[in-house]
Structure 1
Amino acid sequence: MVWTSGAVRAARRIATAAAVGGGGLTALGAVTYGLLMAEAMVARRIVGQPHGLDGPQADGVYGAFPGEPIRMAVLGDSLSVGLGMTRPEDTPAVRIAYGLAAVAERPVRLTVVGQSGAASVDLGVQVDRALETRPEIAIVFVGANDVITATLPARAVRHLQKAVRRLREAGAEVVVGTCPDLGTVRPIAQPLRWVTRRWSRQLAAAQTVAVVEAGGRTVAFADLLGPEFDANPAEMFGPDRFHPSARGYLQAAYAVLPSVCAALGLWPEPEPVRVEGSQYLLAAMAVEEPGTEVTATRVAGRAVGPHGRWAALLRRRPGPLPNA
């Protein structure tokens, strides 16, 4: 398994570099960094911008239920806006809003502040906008553009952690969908597709550590979206072969909804299978286990153990999303 000592060390190294302000190139090295940057430029030219930069306008109140709406903000990159979709109900944000409303039996007031092409460095401005709505729950999708633009992992993680901390300090629960597996993206050629897969997973593990430290929780996207996207690219990807199709976006919403509901104390299912351990080990494990959630916990009354902060890995079994 990839989550053995090497992956744990990589997550720890990136997280440490983020904390002290280092670059954190990780084991991929400077030469690979340069090659990846060149390949990313080629991939971007191939993909282009067939959908423009905006998804459909999705802000609004969802769910025909009585009561005060739950305030939900969605931040991040093209996944947050559902780039390529023409109907709001096909975007992940609206799918999650409908699902949350059905579980809570309350309407959900959705505000999307994400933007296509955004990387972790752009989260600061998005948090400013999100906080204007006083969100009770914030969902962040970020990481893919950090890999595509060859942003140093520690720098990306540092921006993400700051964003999560600001949202938590304002009283919002935070769920982060970590970096997806870009090794499934066909416009990125081999052998660098393998490199992007490795970098994606290292970044996802480091994101998990940073988010847990800041008081949020994560949902692992790499292995959840990777196999199905890899096996069924025509169905899961849109026409540009980079952004998801409606079915691909539904898969993302399906993965995140249980953790969103759980963060608000609403998930009606029995307690999921739970594993406790060092945040570094569980971060690396989560990258390899579809849809797992990682959140902070205490062991014997202690938040920190001999190998770092204690965390819990939760294997949830989501139910079907309501029809939009």
Structure 2
Amino acid sequence: MLKDSPAPRHSPARSGSLHGGLRLALLGDSLAYGSGAARVQDTLGPRLAVVLEDAGFDVDLTVLAVPGAVSHDLAAQARRAVPLDVDLAVVVVGANDLARMVPPAQAAAGLAGALGTLRAAGADVVVVPAPDMSMVPFVPPAFRSLVQAASAALQREQAAVARAAGAQVAGVSDAVATAFAADLAMFSADRFHPSSAGYAVIADALAPHVLAAAVARRDDDAA
């Protein structure tokens, strides 16, 4: 299992790119970090890096995400990203805000501040809004509609501040929730974090959004 440590994970670029180097950073909580996966290679960052490398990008990956982080904690992660000259940041956050009942507007304000820092530093950003927490196995059936509504409210706030900051929004929550609700194997042993199989589903849903952002960045740089 991955150790829940805030230390950044770094992966050097691979040679032979078609499009040049791409400095990719993952920010956020345990989903961005990879808690629950059996191997580091199974987590979101390495999976997304493989997608980009297969498309011809040289990827320099840094994972700045911290397990347990809420949106307020993104500010520190964004500051750590600035000296890395990040080209593309993927921000995955919201599960802990929901679990700790942080008001949606307050959580969105934390996200907005971090996005401002990243965008001012020249990074393009893909925001992955909060997951639909109603599919977590230990949520009682009687409360699932309330949890789903709370998740949707936070997702709307996050999407609004992301678009206002010029970030792209990867709206993958519905597809991921459907897959997780249908198969408990998507969860790790704690029945909260994804398993390696669960991260594969999330990465597959995110890949088109991240690849599109990388291609747009390349095209803008070439213009």
Q: Deviation of residue 221 (structure 1)?
A: 2.8
Q: State whether residues 76 and 118 of structure 1, in contact with CA within 8 Å, keep that contact through their aligned partners in structure 2.
A: yes
Q: Deviation of residue 106 (structure 1)?
A: 2.9
Question: Residue 140 of structure 1 aligns to a residue in which SS?
Answer: strand
Equivalent residue letter for 1:239: A
Of 122, 137, 142, the residue aligned with 1:191 is: 142
In structure 2, relative to structure 1, the CA distance for the partners of 1:127 and 1:184 (3 Å cut) is: same
The reply to whether residue 72 of structure 1 matches residue 24 of structure 2 is: yes
Q: State whether residues 77 and 119 of structure 1, in contact with CA within 8 Å, keep that contact through their aligned partners in structure 2.
A: yes
Distance 1:56 1:158 in 2: 25
Q: Deviation of residue 181 (structure 1)?
A: 0.8
Question: Residue 151 of structure 2 aligns to a residue in which SS?
Answer: helix
Mark the structure with the bigger radius of gyration.
1
In structure 2, relative to structure 1, the CA distance for the partners of 1:172 and 1:214 (3 Å cut) is: same
Distance 1:89 1:51 in 2: 10
Equivalent residue letter for 1:82: G
Distance 2:57 2:153 in 1: 38
- Count of matched residue positions in the alignment of Structure 1 and Structure 2: 216
Question: Residue 259 of structure 1 aligns to a residue in which SS?
Answer: helix
The reply to whether residue 221 of structure 1 matches residue 176 of structure 2 is: no
Gapped regions of structure 2 (runs ≥ 5): 218-223
Distance 2:212 2:197 in 1: 24
1:254 corresponds in structure 2 to: 204
Of 33, 49, 53, the residue aligned with 1:101 is: 53
Of 32, 37, 40, the residue aligned with 1:88 is: 40
Structure 1 residues 218-244: Cα deviation after superposition (integer angstroms, max 9, x where no partner): 1113201111100112x2111111001
Equivalent residue letter for 1:206: E
1:274 corresponds in structure 2 to: none
Q: State whether residues 181 and 221 of structure 1, in contact with CA within 8 Å, keep that contact through their aligned partners in structure 2.
A: no
2:155 corresponds in structure 1 to: 204
Equivalent residue letter for 2:34: G
Q: Deviation of residue 201 (structure 1)?
A: 1.1
Question: Residue 228 of structure 1 aligns to a residue in which SS?
Answer: helix
Of 140, 143, 156, the residue aligned with 2:94 is: 143
Question: Residue 252 of structure 1 aligns to a residue in which SS?
Answer: helix
Question: Residue 125 of structure 1 aligns to a residue in which SS?
Answer: helix
Q: State whether residues 9 and 64 of structure 2, in contact with CA within 8 Å, keep that contact through their aligned partners in structure 1.
A: no
Q: Deviation of residue 51 (structure 1)?
A: 6.5
Distance 1:222 1:255 in 2: 9
Q: State whether residues 8 and 65 of structure 2, in contact with CA within 8 Å, keep that contact through their aligned partners in structure 1.
A: no
Aligned positions of 1:1-324 closer than 5 A: 53-54=4-5, 58-66=9-17, 68-103=20-55, 105-233=56-184, 235-265=185-215
Structure 1 residues 127-183: Cα deviation after superposition (integer angstroms, max 9, x where no partner): 011112110000000011000000011000011111112211111110011111100
Distance 1:118 1:62 in 2: 27
Q: State whether residues 57 and 88 of structure 1, in contact with CA within 8 Å, keep that contact through their aligned partners in structure 2.
A: no
Gapped regions of structure 1 (runs ≥ 5): 1-49, 268-324
Question: Residue 60 of structure 2 aligns to a residue in which SS?
Answer: strand
Of all paired residues, the percent bearing the same amino acid is 35
Structure 1 residues 58-88: Cα deviation after superposition (integer angstroms, max 9, x where no partner): 4112545347531011000011111122422
Question: Residue 258 of structure 1 aligns to a residue in which SS?
Answer: helix
In structure 2, relative to structure 1, the CA distance for the partners of 1:51 and 1:96 (3 Å cut) is: closer
TM-score w.r.t. the length of structure 2 is 0.90
Q: Deviation of residue 55 (structure 1)?
A: 8.7
Distance 2:175 2:120 in 1: 30
